[in-house]
């Protein structure tokens, strides 16, 4: 048990260290971080000047709004498609459902750059290029298989006797779905939405291919960093992190193994 705690601490420190470095860059004087030969790893001279100067001299509101719109739209579209797909797969025999789930997940293994270019060509024809709606539809290709996988496991965990009893009482499919299944499956649905939202929030490849001129915040951060404006990139990164932290804490009770087990649990 002791080694488990040590392992958890080491893994936690490994994942939190980049955030700590981001904090140092944002709130320490540049003379002891990015301009120093040996950057300090301690908060020595905390200041807000880095953030104030960077945010005043850069336009990040529009990219931030586009990122919020895109991630939220991706979460909604994903649920609209994944809920019926997950429910349908949960009612199929495993011999049919599992190969289909594996096939869905295999599509996520394809590099985004490979399928992003033909999608961009088609979206130009459909007038979806350089639009939030087009970007959300493309990013749904990433989130839909995983959300379907999660919801298939969620619906499979609901006893079929509940649905059979409602069917005997005369409830149709839609009534069973909205009155019985969806309320019970709410934690899994929330988990699927959160995962989809977070996958879309920092997605980069589709954003730079499909909405390159007035893009989302990840592309804006990349542009600022590559132009040498590192402090602006740091400031944007902090702003970029806040919605993720807020949403994660708001829905953290759903981020548990039983809601994310998907088809493995069924």
For residue 161, CA distances in Å to 84, 174, 180 come to: 19, 17, 11
Q: Answer yes or no: are the C-beta atoms of 63 and 81 closer than 8 Å.
A: no
* pLDDT tens by residue, 19-46: 888 888 888 888 887 777 788 788 777 7
Do 112 and 73 have their domain in common? yes
pLDDT value, residue 265: 45
Q: Answer yes or no: are the C-beta atoms of 197 and 247 closer than 8 Å.
A: yes
Do 166 and 244 have their domain in common? yes
Q: What is the pTM of this model?
A: 0.78
Do 81 and 33 have their domain in common? no
Confidence tier at 256 by pLDDT (50, 70, 90): low
Do 158 and 86 have their domain in common? yes
Do 143 and 200 have their domain in common? yes
pLDDT value, residue 263: 44
In a domain, 264, yes or no: no
Can you tell me the mean pLDDT for 89-103?
A: 83
Q: Please, what sign has the CA dihedral across residues 93, 95, 98, 104?
A: negative
What is the residue-averaged pLDDT of the chain? 81
Do 101 and 194 have their domain in common? yes
> Residue 46's beta-bridge partner residues?
28
Distance CA 185, CA 259 (A): 9
Domain span holding position 24: 1-45
Is 22 exposed, middle or buried (CB count within 10 Å of its CB: 0-12, 13-18, 19+)? middle
pLDDT value, residue 258: 55
């Amino acid at each position: 048990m002791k080694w488990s705690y040590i392992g958890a601490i080491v893994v936690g420190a490994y994942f939190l260290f980049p955030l700590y470095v981001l904090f140092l860059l944002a709130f320490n004087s540049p003379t002891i971080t990015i301009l120093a030969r040996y950057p300090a790893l301690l908060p020595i001279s905390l200041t807000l000047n880095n953030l104030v100067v960077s945010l005043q001299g850069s336009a990040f509101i529009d990219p931030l709004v586009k990122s919020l719109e895109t991630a939220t739209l991706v979460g909604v579209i994903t649920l609209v498609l994944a809920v019926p797909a997950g429910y349908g797969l949960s009612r199929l025999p495993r011999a049919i459902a599992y190969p289909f789930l594996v096939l869905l997940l295999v599509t996520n293994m394809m590099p985004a750059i490979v399928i992003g270019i033909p999608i961009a060509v088609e979206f130009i024809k459909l007038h979806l290029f350089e639009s939030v709606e087009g970007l959300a539809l493309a990013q749904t290709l990433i989130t839909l298989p995983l959300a379907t996988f999660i919801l298939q496991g969620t619906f499979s965990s609901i006893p079929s006797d509940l649905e059979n009893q409602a069917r005997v009482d005369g409830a149709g499919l839609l009534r069973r779905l909205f009155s019985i299944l969806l309320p019970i499956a709410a934690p899994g649905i929330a988990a699927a939405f959160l995962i989809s939202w977070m996958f879309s929030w920092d997605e980069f490849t589709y954003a730079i291919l499909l909405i390159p001129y007035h893009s989302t915040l990840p592309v804006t951060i990349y542009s600022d960093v590559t132009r040498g404006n590192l402090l602006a990139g740091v400031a944007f990164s902090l702003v970029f992190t806040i919605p993720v932290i807020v949403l994660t804490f708001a829905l953290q009770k759903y981020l548990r193994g039983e809601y994310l087990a998907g088809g493995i649990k069924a």
